[in-house]
Amino acid sequence: MAERVDLRGSEQTLLITLFLRERDARSAHPVLGDRFAAEALARVDHDAGALRWFSSDTVTISARARRLDDWARAFLDEHPDGQVLHLGCGLDSRPLRLDRPPGSRWIDVDLPRVADLRRRVYDLPDDVEVVGASVADPSWWERVDTDRPTLALAEGLFMYLPPADVDGVLDRLVAGCAGGVLAFDALSPWVLPVSNAAFGLTSVDTRFTWGLDRDVLRARHPRLRELDDVRVTDLGAQATSGPWHLVYRAFDAVPYLRDAMRLHRYAF
Ligand SMILES: C[S@@+](CC[C@H](N)C(=O)[O-])C[C@H]1O[C@@H](n2cnc3c(N)ncnc32)[C@H](O)[C@@H]1O
């Protein structure tokens, strides 16, 4: 029986990404193949008609998740004693999708209402810590083991935060932890007003508030060393064949479109 949920503002967007992962998993050629998505989605009452509005993002959102899974695997291979901060985790099954070394640590963080829902929807192993707090709330950071190599994953998160909160998270991570990797997706600043107008046409009541300016990021957080900067349209092209491949390649040829959303990986 699906549970009625009361999700507000950007919390509602976790249903979009979950819906798209479920859609990908039952497609003929899954990109991510999240085998947990269908059951999780079925546990939550949702308006499939409204979510279908976002269907054209299925490949890019799934390819983005797959690349972040790959980066998380690479980090845990290199640091079996490492710690993963899964920021704004929503109802993403990532800790179940990945084989985690026994000496590693995994912390899922999302707003309190979402964290509670996550605990009800997934039967998570005891070694997955679920924290209900804003990522910008300093108190939960006390749980972070600052001496361990740390991977912070922020998928579909930073664009919903006020810029001061993104800086606050990065300050705590980059200045507070001994070393590690930060991986996140980001929108170009020009996308914000366009996408906010599009959000206005849907039933999802939220707005994008942060876009990445790499020069500003570098100046504000000089310890960050860029490892990867990946165009999500390129990930879409790599993941598809036939007409969709041509569509993503066409997007990829147009500077503004190919820069709309990118996936970033930095070491610190
Ligand atoms: C687009 S969803 C992405 C969820 C998940 N990462 C995924 O890919 O399915 C955005 C998520 O960010 C969470 N979020 C928004 N603001 C937050 C904050 N200040 N602290 C923690 N999580 C936040 C929302 O609750 C939601 O789960």
Question: Which tokens go with 158?
Answer: 């930073």
Give the Å distance between the CA of 158 and the centre of ligand 1: 8
Question: What topology is assigned to 9-267 in CATH?
Answer: Rossmann fold (3.40.50)
- Secondary structure class of 253 (helix, strand, coil): helix
Give the Å distance between the CA of 242 and the centre of ligand 1: 33
Give the Å distance between the CA of 241 and the centre of ligand 1: 31
CA dihedral 27, 22, 12, 165 (to 10 degrees): -90
- Quote the CA–CA distance of 130 and 266 in Å, as a whole number: 25
- Quote the CA–CA distance of 26 and 21 in Å, as a whole number: 9
Residue pLDDT, tens place only, 37-60: 999 999 999 999 999 999 999 999
pLDDT for the residue numbered 49: 92
CB-based pocket (< 6 A), ligand 1:
10-11, 13-14, 17-18, 88-90, 92, 109-111, 114, 134-136, 155-157, 160-161
For residues 186 and 158, the answer to whether their CB atoms sit within 8 Å is: yes
Give the Å distance between the CA of 253 and the centre of ligand 1: 30
pLDDT for the residue numbered 37: 98
Atom of ligand 1 nearest to the CA of 134: 20
Which stretches in the chain have pLDDT values below 50?
A: none
Query: Which residue puts its alpha carbon closest to atom 2 of ligand 1?
Result: 14
E-strand spans in the chain? 83-87, 105-110, 128-132, 150-154, 180-187, 225-231, 261-267
Instruction: Tell which one of 60, 141, 157, 167 to mutate to probe ligand 1, the residue whose CB is within 8 A of the most ligand atoms.
Output: 157
Nearest to 129 by CA among 108, 143, 157, 149: 108
Give the Å distance between the CA of 90 and the centre of ligand 1: 5
Question: Which tokens go with 69?
Answer: 């899974």
Q: What is this structure's pTM?
A: 0.97
